[in-house]
């Protein structure tokens, strides 16, 4: 059996500036909604198409100097680069911040949790 190579670490760029990321997640909400009707079977009949959205959750380490203004981000481009050869780059366009929070623990560095939304996703 041949070995399979999997995607490795992700390098994240915000408007051309590389960011030190600890955790990174993307949720693609399709916008579809279940349509419930009053019928004899007591089951839903189908779904309705809605507006999709992309939710990004990022955890970054806080540098002593040169930190980004995470709360003020509007219209940004976030790009993730797979750290392997032949990996496909993914960009999220027109990103804006919805939440920013700080995290402290005894044994780790200071971290910042950021929640963002993106208007669209582009595979490059």
Neighbour-count burial for 109-124, b at 16+ CB within 10 Å, e otherwise: eebbbbebebeeeeee
Position 45 confidence tier, pLDDT thresholds 50, 70, 90: confident
Q: HSE on the CB side for 117, CA within 13 Å?
A: 6
Sheet strands (E) in the chain: 10-14, 17-19, 21-29, 33-35, 46-48, 53-61, 74-82, 90-103, 111-118, 120-123
Counting every residue, how long is the chain? 124
Tens-digit pLDDT profile for residues 63-116: 888 888 889 989 998 888 877 677 788 889 999 999 999 988 888 888 999 999
The mean predicted confidence, pLDDT, of the chain is: 86
CA nearest to 15, candidates 64, 72, 53:
72
DSSP state of 72: G
Does residue 7 carry a pLDDT above 70?
no
Query: Domains along the chain?
Result: 10-123 (2.40.30)
């Amino acid at each position: 059996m041949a070995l399979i190579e999997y995607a490795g670490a992700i390098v994240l760029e915000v408007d051309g500036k590389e960011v030190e990321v600890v955790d990174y997640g993307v949720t693609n909400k399709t916008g579809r909604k279940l349509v419930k009707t009053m019928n004899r079977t007591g089951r839903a009949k189908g779904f309705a198409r809605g507006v999709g959205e992309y939710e990004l959750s990022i955890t970054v380490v806080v540098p002593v100097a040169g930190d980004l203004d995470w709360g003020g981000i509007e219209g940004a481009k976030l790009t993730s680069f797979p750290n392997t050869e032949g990996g496909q780059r993914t960009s999220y366009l027109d990103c804006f911040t919805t939440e920013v929070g700080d995290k402290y623990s005894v044994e780790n560095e200071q971290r910042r949790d950021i929640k963002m939304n993106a208007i669209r996703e582009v595979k490059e």
